[in-house]
Homo-oligomer: A and B are copies of this chain.
Amino acid sequence: MTDHFYDIDTAEQEDTLASWHDGSTKRAICNFVRRVSSQDSPDYIPPDERIAAFDNDGTLWCEKPSYVQEIFIIKYFHEQVALHPELRDVQPFKAFVENDRAYFQALSIQEVDNLILQAVSDVPQDEYVQKVRAFFQESLHPHYQRPFTEMAYAPMLELMTYLRQHEFQIYLVTGGETDFVRQIAETMYGVPRSHVIGSSVRIKLETHHDRPLLVRQKSMVEPLNEGPGKVVNIHVHIGQPPILSVGNSNGDLDMLLYTEHQARPHLPLLIQHDDEEREFAYDHGAEKALQAATLYDWNIISMKRDFKHIFSTAPAEAAYNTTR
């Protein structure tokens, strides 16, 4: 660490990172960004290599009481049962209809991805996109009763803005389904769809009436974008490790280690959900990541200690306002 070399412009920080409490985490972030982006720094890294990777669920937006993607599927399954009542006695529809929380709270993000396959497969890509957009337009977060597009953590949005001001290339590296997350990435985070690396449903090119048509298949592209899959897909899509990455769970550990083990300066960051009052407090599924953070002395972003607000007070631009 070279804190003494790169004094922080407090005014600039406070301007962009207004929702962060002053403290060691904010200080570490600002020092790192200054170190790699100052032309006169011995640790200068050119903008093309200034890659930042953000997990999404639990890192950029709220993942409790359920993954947003899971809520989307539940809604879709209810609609299917309304159309075809005989599905009421068949799993997984049965669990969804009976609101069997034990059944679906035990699901991993991979299992959710597989349910997405059952929910919406063999449909044209465009039809799926319309379903996802309608969901974001119509649905509210079950706990906060606000649109999901307002469920981003305000300090994390500021961090992305701060990194962009310093010419970082920002990627979402999410266990969620790529084309689901793409529908909100541009509006919520300012991340273009080309910078969303997720778990992808296989796409097949078909021809309908002499025109090409992308159709969603019943299988996922290997590897799923979780754990080691995040590192493999970062290589496939970006071709180099991020110098800054942020995650909140064991599924982000490989990405954080990939960020750690490189010759260039790097900053792995782990978000800890420790704010029972303003959000949800849980370490379940983050045990290994927290152990590694201690071992490598990573900076932990404590939501309780580091965030002045959790969510933005102003309503976010709604996802369906996007013109694409």
Contacts and interface: CB of A to CB of B under 8 A. Distances in A.
Interface of A: 48-49, 125, 169, 178-179, 182, 186, 192-194, 196, 200, 203-205, 211-212, 214, 221, 228, 231-232, 235-240, 254, 257-258, 261, 324
A178 B178 CA distance: 21
A214 B205 CA distance: 30
Nearest to A182: B239
This chain's copy number in the assembly: 2
Contact of A178 (B192, B204, B236): B236
Given A193-B238, A324-B49, A232 B258 contact: no
B205 A254 contact: yes
A239 B200 contact: no
A196 B257 contact: no
Contacts of A179: 239
A324 B243 CA distance: 14
A205 B221 contact: no
A186 B211 CA distance: 34
A196 B239 contact: yes
Given A194-B239, A235-B125, A238-B193, A212 B178 contact: no
Given A236-B221, A240-B324, A261-B212, A205 B193 contact: no
Nearest to A206: B228
A278 to B, nearest CB: 34
Nearest to A258: B212
Contacts of A48: 186, 192
Contacts of A49: 324
19 contacts: A49-B324, A169-B194, A182-B239, A193-B239, A193-B240, A194-B237, A194-B239, A196-B239, A203-B236, A204-B232, A205-B231, A205-B232, A205-B258, A211-B261, A212-B254, A212-B257, A214-B231, A221-B236, A237-B237
Contacts of A324: 49, 240
5 closest A-B pairs by CB: A193-B239, A205-B228, A211-B261, A194-B238, A205-B231
A48 B196 CA distance: 14
Contacts of A205: 228, 231-232, 254, 258
Given A192-B48, A205-B254, A254-B205, A212 B231 contact: yes
